[in-house]
Amino acid sequence: MGFHVATEGIPLMGTYPTAKFVHDNIEPIRGRGINRGRRPLASRRATHMTIRFEEGVASPSGVRGDAVICRLYQTDCVTFFESGEVRISLQGYDTVSTRLFINAVLLPRQRVSSIAEGDSLYSTYSYPTPITDVLREDYVVPKEQQYMFSDHVDLKVDGIPIRPNICVVHSVNRKAMSSVRKLYAPFIRYATAMLKIGYAANVGLDIRTRENSLAEIKETGIEYWPGSMSSTLFTYENSDFLCRVMRHDDKKDWANALQAMAMVTMVPAYSKDYAGYSGRVMQYFYRPDHMMQAFKEAPKYAHRDQVFVCKELPLGQYKKNPNLKYINSL
């Protein structure tokens, strides 16, 4: 379980008037220490979570006025401007603690979360005007709106980003993907047969044997690269090289490519009583499933301009983009 700050006791704010009220009702720390003058948001000892008031601060729209700033450690995470605008800022700290602190300060209908693409996601939904409309029989609960952002996001009075980012997803063109797969069908049939014969999952190699095998492969002209199926095995460059080998009808090159992939997709594990040694010895084991997955993945990198279609979602909508790894690969 990871460490994160405890946000219990932080008063709910969400707007400038509320934040100003909270600020004015917290007694500053007295004394001569480094915390003198600070206003802790939670307990008096939680001096890493503070609130302060500043005058003459420019809002995101350029209006100068007062502002109330909520700070976690050395990061001004949430700023409430007198104009009604709000700035949410990570300042490079996209951590669990930062998001918990921000969400504790914002309104319940607003939250910040992390997404797989490496950015952050701001989610909100709008209250009806007037608020009493929620009591009507024909009232429909509004859909949640979601906006991606990298380091910070500026919100209007209604909680919608001032400069919202449009979410882009990449879907597979099935017809194009089918045509690409046909180019590699002969090699895939060859690899499927060979994996059953020479690359059993229970066969292990010691570190030196594996390194010698990689050196022999390099002499044949077949390039290999470090990586694993749990990390980024491919780049656009090395997948393009592998695909050229896979398309070229040369069984010798195919065999070398198969051996290269076997080496880089191996997984380390300890084995007992290996080569006359007692105790646990590190070995590398073949993963035929990883090899076949890699051969099927490579064409998606090499032919990304053909097989993927870019689509912009309506403003306020977010969808995961698992194919982004193929597009962003160098």
Torsion of CA 272, 277, 280, 286, to 10 degrees: -60
Alpha-carbon Rg for the chain, nearest whole angstrom, is: 28
Over the stretch 208-233, which tens digit does the pLDDT of each residue have? Answer: 777 777 777 666 555 555 444 444 56
- The partner residues of 72 in beta bridges, in order of sequence, read 49, 75
Question: How many CB atoms neighbour CB 220 within 10 A?
Answer: 14
* Same domain for 23 and 119: yes
Average pLDDT over residues 15-39: 92
- Mean model confidence pLDDT for the chain: 84
Q: Is pLDDT above 90 for 118? A: no
* Same domain for 222 and 117: no
Q: Is residue 317 part of a domain?
A: no
Kindly tell me the sign of the dihedral angle through the C-alpha atoms of 279, 283, 286, 289.
positive
* Same domain for 265 and 174: yes
Q: Which of 130, 120, 133 is nearest to 161 (CA)?
A: 120
Per-residue confidence (pLDDT) for residue 226, from 0 to 100: 46
Which residue, of 108, 140, 165, is where some domain finishes? 165
Following DSSP, what letter does each residue of 155-200 receive, concatenated?
E-TTS-BSSPPPPEEEEE-HHHHHHHHHHHHHHHHHHHHHHHHH--
Overall domain count for the chain:
2
* Same domain for 242 and 118: no
* Same domain for 228 and 106: no
Phi/psi at 111 (5° precision): -160, 160
Average pLDDT over residues 84-108: 92
Average pLDDT over residues 158-172: 93
Contact at 8 Å (CB) between 23 and 29? no
Q: Is pLDDT above 80 for 53? A: yes
179/72 Cα distance (integer angstroms): 53
* Same domain for 56 and 161: yes
Per-residue confidence (pLDDT) for residue 130, from 0 to 100: 58
* Same domain for 239 and 201: yes
Per-residue confidence (pLDDT) for residue 281, from 0 to 100: 66
Instruction: Give 75-121 as a 3 state SS string.
Output: EEEEEEECCCCEEEECCCCCCHHHHHHHHHHCCCCCEEEECCCCCEE
Terminal C-alpha separation, the chain? 34
Average pLDDT over residues 37-47: 91
Phi/psi at 267 (5° precision): -120, 140
Q: Is pLDDT above 60 for 3? A: yes
* Same domain for 157 and 184: no
* Same domain for 91 and 189: no
Quick one: DSSP state of residue 250?
-
- Residue whose pair of structure tokens reads 């090159």 in the numeric block: 253
Q: Is pLDDT above 70 for 2? A: no
What's this model's pTM, rounded to 2 decimal places?
A: 0.78
Per-residue confidence (pLDDT) for residue 231, from 0 to 100: 43
Share of the chain above pLDDT 90, in %: 47
* Same domain for 295 and 203: yes
Place 267 in a pLDDT band, splitting at 50, 70 and 90: confident
Per-residue confidence (pLDDT) for residue 287, from 0 to 100: 85
Contact at 8 Å (CB) between 187 and 295? yes
Average pLDDT over residues 36-45: 91
Q: Is residue 184 part of a domain?
A: yes
Per-residue confidence (pLDDT) for residue 233, from 0 to 100: 62
Per-residue confidence (pLDDT) for residue 228, from 0 to 100: 42
Range(s) of the domain holding residue 127: 16-165
Per-residue confidence (pLDDT) for residue 227, from 0 to 100: 44
Q: Is residue 123 part of a domain?
A: yes
More confident residue, 242 or 268: 242
Share of the chain above pLDDT 70, in %: 85
Q: Which of 181, 209, 204, 213 is nearest to 306 (CA)?
A: 181
Per-residue confidence (pLDDT) for residue 131, from 0 to 100: 57
Q: Which of 234, 255, 204 is nearest to 302 (CA)?
A: 234
Per-residue confidence (pLDDT) for residue 229, from 0 to 100: 41
* Same domain for 161 and 20: yes
CA distances 313 to 103, 161, 170, 319, Å, are 26, 16, 11, 8
Q: Is residue 330 part of a domain?
A: no
Q: Is residue 9 part of a domain?
A: no
Per-residue confidence (pLDDT) for residue 185, from 0 to 100: 95
Per-residue confidence (pLDDT) for residue 208, from 0 to 100: 78
Q: Which residues contact 189 (CB under 8 A, 6 or more apart)?
A: none
Q: Is residue 3 part of a domain?
A: no
Q: Is residue 46 part of a domain?
A: yes
Which residue, of 135, 165, 195, is where some domain finishes? 165
